[in-house]
Amino acid sequence: MVKHTDHTVTVLDKLTYAGNRASLAGLPEDRVRLVVGDIADAGAVDPLVAEADAVVHYAAESHNDNSLHDPRPFLDTNIIGTYTLLEAARRHQVRFHHISTDEVYGDLELDDPARFTEHTPYNPSSPYSSTKAGSDLLVRAWVRSFGVRATISNCSNNYGPYQHVEKFIPRQITNVIRGIRPKLYGTGENVRDWIHADDHSSAVLTILDKGEIGQTYLIGADGEKDNKTVVESILELMGQPTDAYDLVTDRPGHDLRYAIDSTKLRTELGWTPTYGDFDSGLAATIEWYRQNEAWWAPAKDGVEAFYASKGQ
Ligand code: DAU
């Protein structure tokens, strides 16, 4: 992995319910600056982009369950926010990298030998994934029409430390820590393609360094697992019986399976993931949640109340 020790980073974050200042604790203060603001606010965005060498656009409303409950913030941040950043990148001719998701491709059958590639047609299912698909198309249009120097990456499901407790893996780990049984939607047969967040970051850095302008790269680490298997691993690693979970109301429109073919990124840019063994990455993640209850505890009760209101 390429590592830079001389760059400075400005984090523009609205600090919604999903943001947390404490996630920046311990980073060098002379090289990492937090600006609290909205990517859809051109007045906040413009001066920051004007002084940047590159914009890496991670900001998004990202949670499917929330988008099914209230889609509007997804349109505001994912569509208008991306448009606002692109316009600033265009004005100031700044290199742009857009972070997106494999969910833009819809889902696959469980027994389909195919995986998503850069050529798979877009077919998003949820309000969340449709706004991410729309944002990808905006980036492509700004490259072609206005010459913005942009690349796009579409990544599979991330796991690791600092992930909000609304997401599947941290929700189940923190449930077990709290003495609550893990909750599996539907039958638990849905498959996700897991990648450690550090591997996602190294892929993004590789694309920023070596990616070809106008190109899309899929990021994945061959980590397909069904949800039931993941919950059983969490229970086993946490010393619980592996059947100590509940099956709960399924997510409406629940995508069945995601699977990434990351051949292009690996062969053209030479990227490889470093977390080969899911169970050891999961064990380290469990340990992080055990050690960092102060980071996640303030959000836990609200998240569980939201899920409980939907029978999940
Ligand atoms: O594929 C990339 C995407 O991965 C990202 O674009 C999204 O921002 C990110 O949220 C994630 O989307 P998912 O909907 O796949 O992630 P989530 O953690 O919500 O759920 C993962 C799987 O686990 C999914 O099949 C739903 C299921 N699930 C989720 C929760 C919260 C459960 O069975 N029980 C749960 O309590």
**103 in active site:** yes
CATH number of 160's domain: 3.40.50.720
Taking the centre of ligand 1 as the mean of its atom positions, its distance from the CA of residue 169, in whole angstroms, is 8
Ligand 1 pocket by Cβ (under 6 Å)? 62-64, 101-103, 156-157, 167-168, 171, 183-185, 190, 192, 227, 251, 258
Cα-Cα end-to-end distance for the chain: 39
Question: Is position 29 within any domain?
Answer: yes
Question: Can you give the pLDDT at residue 1?
Answer: 46
Question: Is position 140 within any domain?
Answer: yes
How many CB atoms neighbour CB 241 within 10 A?
A: 9
| Domain span at 58 | 9-164+194-224+258-277
Question: Is position 290 within any domain?
Answer: no
Q: What is the dihedral of CA 205, 263, 159, 16, to 10 degrees?
A: 50
User: CB pairs under 8 A, 24+ apart, for 38-44?
Assistant: 38/14, 38/77, 38/81, 39/12, 39/14, 39/77, 39/81, 39/82, 39/84, 39/85, 40/76, 40/77, 40/80, 40/81, 40/84, 41/84, 42/84, 42/87, 42/88, 44/12
Taking the centre of ligand 1 as the mean of its atom positions, its distance from the CA of residue 190, in whole angstroms, is 10
Answer for the pair 220, 260: CB distance below 8 angstroms, yes or no: yes
| Residue among 38, 65, 102, 136 flagged as catalytic | 102
Sequential pLDDT tens for the chain (312 residues): 456 678 999 999 999 999 999 999 999 999 999 999 999 999 999 999 999 999 999 999 999 999 999 999 999 999 999 999 999 999 999 999 999 999 999 999 999 999 999 999 999 999 999 999 999 999 999 999 999 999 999 999 999 999 999 999 999 999 999 999 999 999 999 999 999 999 999 999 999 999 999 999 999 999 999 999 999 999 999 999 999 999 999 999 999 999 999 999 999 999 999 998 999 999 999 999 999 999 999 999 999 999 999 999
Q: Is 50 left (phi over 0), alpha (psi -120 to 50) or beta?
A: alpha
pTM of the predicted protein model: 0.97
Tell me how many domains the chain contains.
Answer: 1
Question: Is position 178 within any domain?
Answer: no
**128 in active site:** yes
Question: Can you give the pLDDT at residue 3?
Answer: 65
Question: Is position 233 within any domain?
Answer: no
Question: Is position 48 within any domain?
Answer: yes
Answer for the pair 168, 182: CB distance below 8 angstroms, yes or no: no
Question: Is position 295 within any domain?
Answer: no
Using the atom order of ligand 1, give the atom closest to the CA of residue 182.
Answer: 36
Question: Is position 283 within any domain?
Answer: no
Which tokens in the block code for residue 222? Answer: 């061959």
CB-count exposure of residue 288 (10 Å: 0-12, 13-18, 19+): middle
Question: Can you give the pLDDT at residue 276?
Answer: 86
Answer for the pair 208, 97: CB distance below 8 angstroms, yes or no: yes
